[in-house]
Structure 1
């Protein structure tokens, strides 16, 4: 039975409708990351589940119980906010314990639970510090500890790593999945960082235009994006997009880049004559000095070294700009100027130009 079940949720404000018939379910112990750009309604969704806001229509069920009209304190939900929301006059210990004191737990129970979650999050040494004495990383862990301490069956995390430094953000991406699995809660985790979504989620729910454009595993979202909009959100640099109307030659669809005909696999034969957008991930583009039957001429316009990889800005003979990503720092060996590029035809993504939806291959 799903621990969280949202059915046809609608929510609007004076500026317009934010959520438009949104539905989602999450199973016990599952981490579902709600991902999308700023302003798409991710925080609004969490506030609806927590009971802070009321939906205009639709229903919310938690642990098999309809809580659409239930008071927030009866929902059994833990929540951590992106701005920490710590009580400034309380120590870290008292901030964490406040979730238990509200339920009139005994002092011994409170101490045991606070000490346990403090050790788990490695903040035991700052328990008597006031929030103003804590680093952003310690504040973040304190807010998370407060959400975890009462062992909530359902945990809502509103972009909790947004206000911490890059080093801690990276460390917490590694630690959080096992930490959340240890807690055993069913988690909805909001973020607008695609790397965070890929690292933390059992599934990712991509929120766009008031609804979920795709709900799938991280691998599926990246390799089989439901729409061009989803494909553009995942990847750095973003996916290259080439408009095309392929024609069939010897049972294979052919399209052009820079006047050069390039073949796609036969399992894309059904796209012949259809106006498409061909998506090529930058890491799928290989830039070489010499031409090959599968390559097309380009000019290397700029090279940006990013330590673990280099990003190349390429320009085709018809003026189209493409991005390629190469492993390692190629600045010393890679030269600007004429070159040739090729890609793995089996790695392309094909989208319908009118709807933006991905056109899957016909595999036997």
Structure 2
């Protein structure tokens, strides 16, 4: 059942239409990641939900309540900002306690709540410190604790890991899912980092052009993108994209890349003769030095070890192809050009309309 429901939300700043008839349904207790580039309207969306901004059109409902006549203080929504927004003259304890004091909570309950929340976020040892004495990671946790301390039903996080280092971002990606579940809040999490989106979201909403282009599970977004643009936004190394026209050949369907035929492992006879774009994830390109029927002749040009995978740059004529495979120390040590063949993993090819970018 929908818990937070947004219908036809629109907002323009001058001539720039930031949100354009946006629709969204969020289930109670889920973490929905709002993913998009700079200026796509992610923060604007959160500000509307929080009541910090009035829409030009559209409705917002929370648990059946129309939010249009409710101010920020009565919506039951908490928001944490990417710049921490801590009171510089207050200790971490008092920063966390500030929303409870505003509600007139008694001192014993207030202290208990602050201690519990600080323990959850592992910052009990810095509660007496002023913000200037805290590391960026501690500031981020303090800001989040302030948002969580009064147990809001909805938590809005505006790119909270943007100003912390890579090590802490990795650690928090592991901690956040447990923290969100423990809080019981319905979470909308804004980010420009696709890794965060894939790691944290029960679902991901890809925001572009003022609307959600796709809302799906992380696996659905990655493996079944609705558009070429969505496919390009997720993945490192990025998806390979080739302009092709599939043709029927003996043994199935094939496409031509750099003047050479490549047999498609999947039968897409519906695309015969239709100009389109073939998308292939690097991990679905299989490189071999042994000749294979229907494989594309290529040359291995470069090798890039990335964590536990080995990424290779292949060339078919002037066309570059990225391939990724589990860690391969022998291949990673290769420094010379190696001739070989590339084929595609079955069931993994994606086809997009050349003009619209829509999935075929």
Same fold, TM-score > 0.5, yes or no: yes
Q: CA deviation at 1:264?
A: 2.5
Aligned pairs for 1:242-321 (under 5 A) are 242-249=242-249, 252-265=252-265, 267-317=267-317, 319-321=318-320
Task: Show CA shifts across 1:299-321 (max 9, x none).
Answer: 2222222232232222212x111
Matched, 1:67 2:67: yes
- 1: distance between equivalents of 2:291 and 2:266? 24
- 2: distance between equivalents of 1:273 and 1:342? 21
Task: Show CA shifts across 1:33-84 (max 9, x none).
Answer: 0011111110111011111111110011112101123211111101111111
Q: CA deviation at 1:250?
A: 5.2
Q: CA deviation at 1:251?
A: 7.9
Map of 1:362 onto structure 2? none
TM-score, normalised on structure 1? 0.95
Map of 1:326 onto structure 2? 325
- 2: distance between equivalents of 1:203 and 1:86? 30
Q: Check the 8 A contact 2:303/2:334 in 1, yes or no.
A: no
Map of 1:181 onto structure 2? 181
Map of 2:137 onto structure 1? 137
- 2: distance between equivalents of 1:136 and 1:266? 49
Structure 2 gaps of 5+ residues are none
Aligned residues: 358
Q: Check the 8 A contact 2:18/2:40 in 1, yes or no.
A: yes
Task: Show CA shifts across 1:154-213 (max 9, x none).
Answer: 110111111111111111111100110110111100011111111111100000111101
Q: CA deviation at 1:334?
A: 6.1
Q: Check the 8 A contact 2:247/2:254 in 1, yes or no.
A: yes
- 2: distance between equivalents of 1:326 and 1:333? 15
Aligned pairs for 1:330-345 (under 5 A) are 330-333=331-334, 335-345=336-346
Map of 1:119 onto structure 2? 119
- 1: distance between equivalents of 2:101 and 2:63? 24
Secondary structure of 2:236 counterpart: coil
Q: Check the 8 A contact 1:251/1:266 in 2, yes or no.
A: no
Q: Check the 8 A contact 2:266/2:349 in 1, yes or no.
A: no
TM-score, normalised on structure 2? 0.96
- 1: distance between equivalents of 2:307 and 2:266? 38
Matched, 1:25 2:25: yes
- CA change 1:260–1:59 in 2 (3 A) is same
- 2: distance between equivalents of 1:199 and 1:332? 31
Q: CA deviation at 1:15?
A: 4.8
Secondary structure of 1:109 counterpart: helix
Map of 2:148 onto structure 1? 148
- CA change 1:121–1:192 in 2 (3 A) is same
- 2: distance between equivalents of 1:76 and 1:126? 28
Instruction: Out of 289-298 and 171-180, give the one that drifted further.
Output: 289-298
Task: Show CA shifts across 1:266-292 (max 9, x none).
Answer: 542111121111001011112222221
Secondary structure of 1:45 counterpart: helix
- 1: distance between equivalents of 2:63 and 2:109? 25
Structure 1 gaps of 5+ residues are 360-364
